[in-house]
Structure 1
Amino acid sequence: MNFLLHNKFIAKTKKTLFLVIICFSLVYSSGLHAQKKYVVVLDAGHGGKDPGNMGNGFKEKNIALKVALGVGELLEEENAIKVVYTRDRDVFIDLWKRGDVANQAKADLFVSIHCDSHTSNAYGAGTFVLGIRGNKKNLEIAKRENAVILLEDNYQQRYKGFDPNSAESMIGLSLLQEENLDKSLNIASLIQTNFSKKLKRLDRKVKQDNFQVLRETIMPSVLIELGFLTNKQEGRYLNSTKGQKAFSSTIAEAIKKYINQLKINTIDEVNDVPDTNKETRLEYKVQIASGKNKIAPKSYNFRGLKNVERIQVGASYKYYYGASSLLKEAKNSLRLAKRKGYKSAFIVAFKNGVKITLKQAQNIE
C-alpha cells in the first residue's frame, strides 16, 4: 500500500469509527432518556358489562374513560412521562387485573377515576388514598413482587442479607409502603386543591379508605370521585364535553406538578446556608426513603445497599445512601439505588452539613 492509499485508508477508518461512536452515543442516550420516563397508570373505572353507577341515566364507565383518556393525552405531551391505561376502550377489566397492570408496568403512580352516587342530592369531588385497613394486603403484594429476586442470577451476592420471605426484610418494605402513603397523600392533595380552587367544586377533602383497586398496587396510588351522577346538575356537567375536559386538565396539571416537585426536591425543606468564612465541605447523598419508623440502617433492610445513613428530622427519619464529595459518584449511587427498586430516590446536597439545593451546590463547585 503506497503512502497516499495508506492515508486514505486511515481517513476512511476514522470516519467510519466516528459514525459508529455517534450512533452508539445516540442509542445510549436514548436508552438513558427512556429510563428516566415517569410511568403513570390511568385506570378508568368499570367498563364493558359493568356500567358503574347510572344516576339520572348517565353511565359512569363512559365518563371515567373519557376523562382518563383526556388526562393521558395531556400527560403524553411531556416527553418524560409514559402513560399506561388499564383500559382505553369499553371493556370489562377485573379489579385485581387493574393493579396488576400497574405493578407489571413498574408504575410510579396509579390514578383510578370514578363517579360517585348517593340516595341524597349530595355533590362535590373527592380523592381517596389507601386506608390503614388495606395496608396488610398491600404489604403482602409487595412481598410477592419482591420474591422475584429469588429468580435472578447471583441474587445471593446482589442482595446479600435480603430475604423477601423474612420478617426483617419486611421492615424495609413497610418503610417503603409508608413513603408511598406520604406520596399518595401529596398527589391527592394537589388534585383536590385543583378541584376546589380551579373548578370551584365542593371540596369533599382527601380521605383514606379501603378500596380494593388501591390494595392491589405497590406504588403511590389515588382514587378520584369526580362528582355525583345522582345529582342532576353535577351529573349533566360530568357528562358534558366541557366538564370532562375541565377535569382532565386539572388532574393532568396536578400530576405534572407532583412529578416536578419530585424532580426538584421541593417536597423536602431546604435550610438557608449560613454565610461563614470557614472552608466549604460539599457532600452529596442519595435519599432512598423517609418515614416515621426508626429502621436499623442494615443492608438487609434496604435490599442489599450498604452504608445506609439514618438522619432524624423532627418526628421523621430520612435514609441516605452513597455519601460522596463528587456528584459523579452520587449519580452512580442513584442508578444503583433505582436498580434495587428505590425508583423515587433522588440526590441531595449538603454544605458543611446543612442541606442546600443541587443548583446551589453546582454554583459552589
Structure 2
Amino acid sequence: MRKQNFKIILSFLLIFVNTFIFSQKKFTIVLDAGHGGSDHGANRTYGDIGRVAEKDVTLAIVLKIGSMLEKNKDFKVIYTRKFDEYPSLSDRTNLANRSKADLFVSVHCNSSQRSGAYGTETYVQGPDQNDTNLEVAKRENDVIYLDEKDKQVFGSYDPSSPESLIALKLQQSKYLESSLLLGGLVEDNFVNKDKRFSRGVFQKNLHVLRMNAMPSVLIETGFINHPEESHYLASDKGQEEIAVSIYNAIIDYKKAIDRKSGGFTSTKKPEPEKPAEVPLKNDFRVLLMSSPTKYNDGDPALKGLNYILPIKENGQYKYYYGVTNMASVRDINIKTAKDAGFRNAFAVGFMPNQKLNSGYYTIEVFTGKDKLNGNSPILLTLKDVERTKENGIFYYTYGKVYTLEDAVKLQKDIEVKGIKNTIIQKVYK
C-alpha cells in the first residue's frame, strides 16, 4: 500500500513540475517573410541566375532564422507564412496581436530607381523623419491595394493629417525604444559580422508595422536591383549570413530586455554562472542635447524616447536619458539614444547624493511673458514661490535643495499636486 501511495504522490509531483515548467512564459516572436503569392515584391532577372524575386529571398531567410530560434526553448516562433502565399497586412498584424507577441520582425529586400543603390536598412514605425527613403514607404504601403480587407483597414488612414500623426506618435511611443534597440543590433551585425554597408536605422510610417502592439522592425536586407547585391541575396551563403546576423541580434535584444525588465523565466538548464557585474561608483545618464528651448514629454524633438530628465543650467536645457550604475545598461542606453537620432549622445557621470558646493537645485514651475495672477493654481498650491524677470520673461521657481536626488523627489512631489512640465534648475551662487 505504501509503495502504491508513493507512486501516486510521485505521479502528481511529476505532473505538477511538468505543468509548471511548460507554463512558463516563452518569448514569442512573429517572423514575417515579406510579400508572397501573387505579390512578388521587388524582382530582377539576371542572365546567369535567372529571376530573383523578393518573396522567395525573404521566405528563405525567415525559415533559416526560425529554424535557429526553434532550437532555443526560451522562444516561441510564429510565422506569417511558411510557403508561397500572400497574407494581407491585416492578417500579419492581427496574427501578431492575437499571439500577444513580444517581437515582430518583417524581412524584405529593397529596390531603387537608382541602379547604384546598395546596402541594408532597418525601419521602425514612427512619423517620417525626413523626405528621404520615400520609395521604401510607397512600395511597402502600396500592397494594401492587393487585398480588400487592407483597403478597409488602412485605406482611410491619412498620414498627412495632424490627427493621424498625433495618433501614430501616441500609439508607437512605448515600443519605439525597444524597436530602435533591435534595429541597431541588426545593422551592427550586418556591418561588423557580414562586412556589409549599412544605410542606417530609420523611422517610417509603414502599414505592416503601424498596428502592431509590440516592438517591431522591418529589415531591408539589400537591393535586388543592384547586380552584385542581388546575387548575394539569392545565394545560400548570403541568406545564411543574413539569417545568422538577424538571429544573433534577436538573442542580444532579448538579453538586453531581460536585463532591463527582469526578463522571462527560462526553461533550459542554467548556464555556468558568470562573474556578477559590479555596479559603478557613479550613476550615468546619457546627454542627448543642450538647447535654449524647453521641450515637454512627447515632443517630436525627443524622438520618442522616454525616461528623459531635463536639467536647466546657465540658461540651457540639458536633456538626459535614462539612469543606471551598470556599465552594460549604460552602453545599451547610449546605443538606443544614437539609434534614435542623437548621434552625439554620450554618458555623463553623476556622483550619488553629491551636494552642490557652489549652488543648489530649484524647480522651475512656470515661465512666460505675463505674470501669474493671484488665482493661479501654481501660486495657490505652492507657497514661497520666487519670481524673477529676465529679458522680458517671468520665471517662477520653487524650493531649494542641494542634491539631484532631492531635486527629483521634490519635482515628483510637485507633480502629485497637479503641477506638470516643471524643470529642475541648477543655480550657481
TM range (shorter): 0.5 to 0.7
Q: Give the drift of 1:133.
A: 5.9
Q: Call closer, same or farther: CA 1:99–1:270 in 2, change over 3 Å.
A: farther
Q: Call closer, same or farther: CA 1:175–1:11 in 2, change over 3 Å.
A: farther
In proportion to residue count, which structure has more helix? 1
For 1:215, the equivalent position in structure 2 comes to 210
Q: Secondary structure at the match of 2:95?
A: helix
For 1:44, the equivalent position in structure 2 comes to 33
Verify the 8 A CA contact 2:125 2:172 in the aligned structure 1. no
Distance 2:173 2:198 in 1: 26
Q: Give the drift of 1:270.
A: 8.5
1:340-351 superposed matches below 5 A: none
1:237-276 superposed matches below 5 A: 237-265=232-260, 271-272=279-280
- The one-letter code sitting in structure 2 at the alignment partner of 1:100 is N
1:193-342 superposed matches below 5 A: 193-265=188-260, 271-272=279-280, 293=297, 315=319
Distance 1:130 1:100 in 2: 16
Verify the 8 A CA contact 2:43 2:224 in the aligned structure 1. yes
Q: Give the drift of 1:179.
A: 2.8
Verify the 8 A CA contact 2:127 2:169 in the aligned structure 1. no
Cα offsets for 1:42-95 (capped at 9, x unmatched): 100000011011123310000000001111111112110111100000001111
Distance 1:48 1:209 in 2: 25
Q: Secondary structure at the match of 2:280?
A: coil
Verify the 8 A CA contact 1:195 1:250 in the aligned structure 2. yes
- The one-letter code sitting in structure 1 at the alignment partner of 2:15 is C
Q: Give the drift of 1:265.
A: 3.0
Q: Secondary structure at the match of 1:129?
A: strand
For 1:29, the equivalent position in structure 2 comes to 21
1:169-180 superposed matches below 5 A: 177-180=172-175
Verify the 8 A CA contact 1:293 1:317 in the aligned structure 2. no
Distance 2:80 2:173 in 1: 25
Q: Secondary structure at the match of 1:55?
A: strand
Is residue 192 of structure 1 aligned with residue 187 of structure 2?
yes
2:8 corresponds, among 1, 16, 19, to 16
Identity of aligned residues (%): 37
Structure 1: runs of 5 or more not aligned: 1-8, 135-170, 275-291, 295-309, 319-351, 354-365
Structure 2: runs of 5 or more not aligned: 46-50, 130-165, 263-276, 283-295, 299-305, 311-318, 323-351, 354-429
TM-score computed with the length of structure 1 as normaliser: 0.59
Verify the 8 A CA contact 1:55 1:117 in the aligned structure 2. no
In proportion to residue count, which structure has more strand? 2
For 1:102, the equivalent position in structure 2 comes to 96
Verify the 8 A CA contact 1:55 1:231 in the aligned structure 2. no
Is residue 66 of structure 1 aligned with residue 60 of structure 2?
yes
Q: Give the drift of 1:223.
A: 0.3
Distance 1:29 1:74 in 2: 22
> After the TM superposition, which of the residue ranges 48-57 and 218-227 deviates more from structure 2?
48-57
Q: Give the drift of 1:266.
A: 9.3
TM-score computed with the length of structure 2 as normaliser: 0.51
Residues matched between the structures, number: 240
Distance 1:311 1:86 in 2: 34
For 1:125, the equivalent position in structure 2 comes to 120
Q: Give the drift of 1:196.
A: 1.4
Q: Give the drift of 1:260.
A: 1.2
Cα offsets for 1:111-156 (capped at 9, x unmatched): 111111111121111100012269xxxxxxxxxxxxxxxxxxxxxx
For 2:149, the equivalent position in structure 1 comes to none
* Larger RCO, structure (CA 8 Å, separation 6 or more): 1
Verify the 8 A CA contact 1:129 1:188 in the aligned structure 2. yes
1:123-162 superposed matches below 5 A: 123-132=118-127
Q: Give the drift of 1:15.
A: 3.8
Q: Give the drift of 1:218.
A: 1.2
